[in-house]
Amino acid sequence: MKKPRIAIGSDHAGFEYKNFLKEKLIAEGYAVHDYGTNSPDSVDYPDYVHPLSVAIEKKVEDTGILICGSANGVAITANKHQGVRAAIVWQADIASLARLHNDANIICIPARFITKEQAFSFVEIFLKTDFEGGRHSQRVNKIAI
């Protein structure tokens, strides 16, 4: 099975987690495109979320990972894009259900509330879980306006 192309981005609060996740994913053979930020200096997360989300919409990238302190800001911003379904994940079951039932294409990680190891575990679950389809397809198809 071909591994998905992954877009990854963060703000300053997620910078350390972004680098950690990127390194682990590359070591596992994933193609990872880093959309920034490139330092722990304070930044505005929409400056990084919008380009990543456009890449998902245009299918330049297959899936995305966004990280900020709470994951709320990046998720709200990403979900402004019609072709994006960004899910905040803080537990393994949520990572699985985001893909299984919601066909999420971006996982949003709350760096201030989980460990780096948990984040990687949730990303792995997210990447390895397929959309179930069936009754969920009708619901997902009603999301975009």
At 144 the pLDDT is 79
Task: Answer yes or no: is pLDDT of 59 > 90.
Answer: yes
Q: CATH number, domain at 109? A: 3.40.1400.10
Task: Answer yes or no: is pLDDT of 116 > 70.
Answer: yes
Query: What digits encode the pLDDT tens for the residues 1-41?
Result: 689 999 999 999 999 999 999 999 999 999 999 999 999 99
Compute the distance between CA of residue 132 and CA of residue 61 in angstroms, rounded to an integer. 21
Find the catalytic residue in 50, 101, 108, 136: 101
Find the catalytic residue in 33, 68, 108, 136: 68
Task: Answer yes or no: is pLDDT of 140 > 90.
Answer: no
Predicted TM-score (pTM) of the model is 0.96
At 108 the pLDDT is 98
Share of the chain above pLDDT 90, in %: 88
Total domains in the chain come to 1
At 143 the pLDDT is 84
How confident is the prediction for the chain on average, in pLDDT?
Answer: 95
**Full domain range(s) for residue 44:** 5-141
- Is position 101 annotated as part of the catalytic site? yes
